[in-house]
Every structure is written in C-alpha cells, then in structure tokens.
Structure 1
C-alpha cells in the first residue's frame, strides 16, 4: 500500500457530525491500533496530509496536536511528527490499563499468569488495611499493547468486595464497575530498579535493563482501600508524566 492510499483512510466522512479534526484523529488512532503504523513511523508533512485527505492544514494540525497531547504521537523540532516510541501516562488520570491503551490507539491485551484466592501476605494486608491471612483475590498477568509486553501486574483485592476470581474477565476495572465499585482516587509510588531474571524473560527485555516498579492503592469514595496493584513496567517504553501548576502565589 502506498502512503497516499494509507493516509487516504484518514479522510473524514460527510455523514459523521463529529468535528473534522476529531474524525481524522480517530482514524489515525485506528491505523496505529491495527499495526498499519508502528512506533517510530513518520507522519507526512501537514501539507501532504491535507492533500491526501481533502481537509485543511489547520484541521490536520489540530488532529495531530491532540494525539501529541495524549502521547500517541511525538513531535521533534526540525524533524517532524512520529508515532510515539514510548507511551506516556498522565499521573493525574485514574484509568485502568485497557482504557488507557485504547485511548492512545493501542489494542490492550493480557496474558494470565495466575488468578486465584489466597491469604493476604503481610505487605498486601498492610496495603489493604486487612488482617494478615484474610481472604484476597490475587490476579497476576502480563499486560500487552498491540501484542507487545508492557508490564507485569499483580492486583490484589479483598474477597469482601469480589468473592470469586471467576467474576473477572479481561478487564479488572470492568469487573469493579459491574459490582458498583468505583475507585475515586489513588496513591501511586514509583521507583526504578534493575529487572529480575524472571521479569527480563516475561517482558522480553535485555539484561540488565531497568523497570519501573509501581505500587498503586485505589480508594473508594468513603476512604476505604479497594485494591492494591504491584506492577513492573518496561522503562524503555513507558513514561509517567505529571502536570504541575502554580498556586498563584508569587514571591
């Protein structure tokens, strides 16, 4: 397929009432999610994209800009716009992995390593605010984006909230929503370290590569801890981004 044929797929539909730049952005996400565009691929210049799609350069600029803001594309001064080589996750947003990946144009997936009931370990009990040995559901899996390993994740939740691991399908957060268990806030602790031999194998990375070790506790509206997740993310593909604002006070 020629570039002209590929990017012609971005052409908006006259029957779609959505703004043109959003239509172009959605279609570009679809190209990335399908694998037609891959990490590091360059976007044609705005003028060429406008000619291929029949929309204005302003529309193309807005479509690309929204995908840059969400981390799907990246812009390099003097070089152009590219499919992002890394995934950026804003720390200010409370999203499940699947929801986050789909929003960025990637197809999320899971490779289950374990889904069981167990007694809470001391670390799990402390994080969840329950007694050691109390019943929990432990969910361990490899999280993937477009089939590529991104993270090893172990989510733990008290059986008080979810009594049976069979209630959980591909999306842990969808299972929580089905039970009307909506986390309203979360605390996340991140540190970098060298991957263990097992992590190196599961994430298909070289040794000694780094991972981002993350502990995330999610809370219900009344302040109770709902679940805790321990994850190891690939440091070569994942960035966590936080927006900082001034308080308005000046010295």
Structure 2
C-alpha cells in the first residue's frame, strides 16, 4: 500500500461535502490525508489513463454523453445512495493509440464533485479531479461476462455487430467503505486479454491490450 502523505487541501464545497459523507479521512492533529491519484492496490489499476500509459501505449477518451440524472432503483441499491441524491452519468469511448477499445458508462454521486461540467471532463482525468478533493479509491469489485455486441455498441467501438466482447462491471469504494463509482463497460475481445494467476496465499490479475 502506498505511504500516505500530507497534502494541503483547498476547502472547496465539494471537499467539505465529501468529508461530511465519509469520503475523506481526517486524522486528529494531522489534517487531511490522501494518497497518490494513480493508486494501485493488489494488482488493480484504477486509472485507465495510467494503466494504458504503463503499457507504453497512448490513451485518449471521446465523451459520448454527459448528464445529471435521478438514478434508477438499481443504481441506488448498487451504490447505497440516500433518497433524492442525483448522480452524474457519462459515457465515454476509451481509445488506445487512437483506436476504440472500451465503451464505458459511469455513475458518480453529484455531491462528490459539485459543478462538474462536460468541458472539464473532456480536458481532465476525473480520477485526478476527485483526488484533489480527497476522494481516493481503496477497493473495487469487478465482474466480467462474455457477450456479443449489439449494433449501437459495435458502431461506437468500430466493430461488426455480433462481435465478441467482455462486459465489465465495477463498484469502487473508499477506505471508509463508501461506494462512489459504478461503471459498466464493453471491451473489445479481439484486443483485450485477461490473465489470472493463482499462488499460495495470493491471486494476481492482469489486463493486457494488443
């Protein structure tokens, strides 16, 4: 686990709200503590940008949709949201070396980063924005399922309808156990390989991209 380091924090409204809801950890007499934004624990790389860069490839994103919505009952349950909470929903095509790889739809409570705009999301890593208000990933729960792409998803990923893909779901939590992200993704199976290695006392997971 990366060593915690003390970072001066601007007391933005989003930071105060996130702290009230338990997303930011404060230690008495020591201030607010956060870790590096490119957090990696137990072989899981939370940031797409960092993951792809470490593979020696060039990441980029195309924002398809951005909205503030009233979440469905399913999203409320999955994220443990309180009644009346609005969420950001945005869909992006994640590109590697200029070619579409992942079609990703993410949900975040609006209160963790108030006043997020489409323009801000198009020019910044959202994980980095969250880091600067003290919202840090601690653990994630992932599931993968083999599927075939419907025409809409296939078009955005530059594939033929019916092409093989991985359907990926992720819930990400803070150290305090609060779920702040739910993401669903379609990954092109012709470019992604998943490796799981078992060793006594540990399991490692790696996602590689052709």
TM-score (norm 1): 0.59
- In the TM superposition, what are the counterparts of 1:39-50 in structure 2 within 5 Å? none
Q: Secondary structure at the match of 1:160?
A: helix
Q: Secondary structure at the match of 1:244?
A: strand
Equivalent pair of 1:101/1:145 in contact (CA under 8 Å): yes
Stretches of structure 2 lacking an aligned partner (at least 5 in a row): 1-40, 203-210
- Partners of 2:52 and 2:146 lie apart in 1 by 22
- 109 and 175 in structure 1: CA distance in 2 versus 1, 3 angstrom threshold: same
2:155 aligned with 1:204, yes or no?
A: no
- Other structure's SS at 1:163 match: coil
CA RMSD of aligned residues (A): 2.0
Q: Equivalent residue for 1:164? A: 115
CA–CA separation in structure 1 for the residues paired with 2:116 and 2:179: 19
- Mapped contact 2:69–2:89 kept (Cα < 8 A): yes
Aligned positions of 1:1-251 closer than 5 A: 92-131=43-82, 134-166=85-117, 168=121, 169-247=123-201
Cα 1:247–1:120 shift into 2, 3 Å: same
Distance 1:245-1:209 versus aligned 2 partners, 3 A rule: same
Report which of the two structures shows the higher radius of gyration computed on alpha carbons: 1
Task: Say which structure is richer in helix.
Answer: 1
Q: 4+ residue stretches of structure 1 with deviation over 4 A?
A: none
- Which deviations, in whole Å up to 9, do the C-alpha atoms of 1:16-50 show, x marking residues without a partner? xxxxxxxxxxxxxxxxxxxxxxxxxxxxxxxxxxx
Tell me which of the two structures has the higher relative contact order, counting C-alpha pairs closer than 8 angstroms and 6 or more residues apart: 2
Deviations 1:191-231 (A, max 9, x none): 01110110110001123211111110001001110111111
Shift of 1:128: 0.9
Separation (CA, whole Å) in 2 of partners of 1:241 and 1:217: 20
Q: Give the number of equivalent residue pairs.
A: 159
Q: Give 3-state SS (helix, strand or coil) of 1:142's partner.
A: strand
C-alpha distance in 2 between matches for 1:132 and 1:233 = 32
Cα distance between partner residues in 1 of 2:149 and 2:173: 29
Q: Displacement of 1:173 after TM fit?
A: 1.1
CA distance in 2, matches of 1:210, 1:164: 38
Do the aligned residues in 2 keep the contact of 1:151 with 1:203 (CA within 8 Å)?
Answer: yes
Q: Aligned partners of 1:92, 1:171: CA distance in 2, in Å? A: 21
Which structure 1 residue ranges, 5 or more long, are not aligned?
Answer: 1-89
